[in-house]
Amino acid sequence: MEVRIHYYALLREIAGGSEDTVTLADGSDGNDLLAAVAARHPGMQKLLPVVRLASETEYLRRDDALKPGGTVQLIPPVSGG
């Protein structure tokens, strides 16, 4: 299945763009998605343990199954004011 990814903040800089698409096995979850992202963008590996995943209007747990053709936002921790 294909899953579309939106990167934000520092993740966008590391990826070299704000969007990406990965192909995963049917029934894959957020952990599988993050493993695919880490393989594609090794510079993100240190950040991925603290990244939040969101789909449409809700946050996802890492063990939540992903929807084929869905979109997942990867949101790093942010600070500032």
Average pLDDT over residues 23-33: 97
| pLDDT digit string, tens, across residues 33-50 | 999 999 999 999 999 999
Backbone angles phi, psi at 6, to 5 degrees: -115, 125
Q: What pTM value is reported for the model?
A: 0.91
Which band of pLDDT confidence, cut at 50, 70 and 90, is reported for residue 80?
A: low
Give CA–CA dist 12/78, Å, rounded. 13
Give the 3-state secondary structure of residue 26: coil
Write out the two tokens for 17.
């763009």
Sheet holding 52-55, edge to edge: 19-23, 2-7, 71-75, 52-55, 58-60
What domains sit in the chain, N to C, each tagged with a CATH number? 2-75 (3.10.20.30)
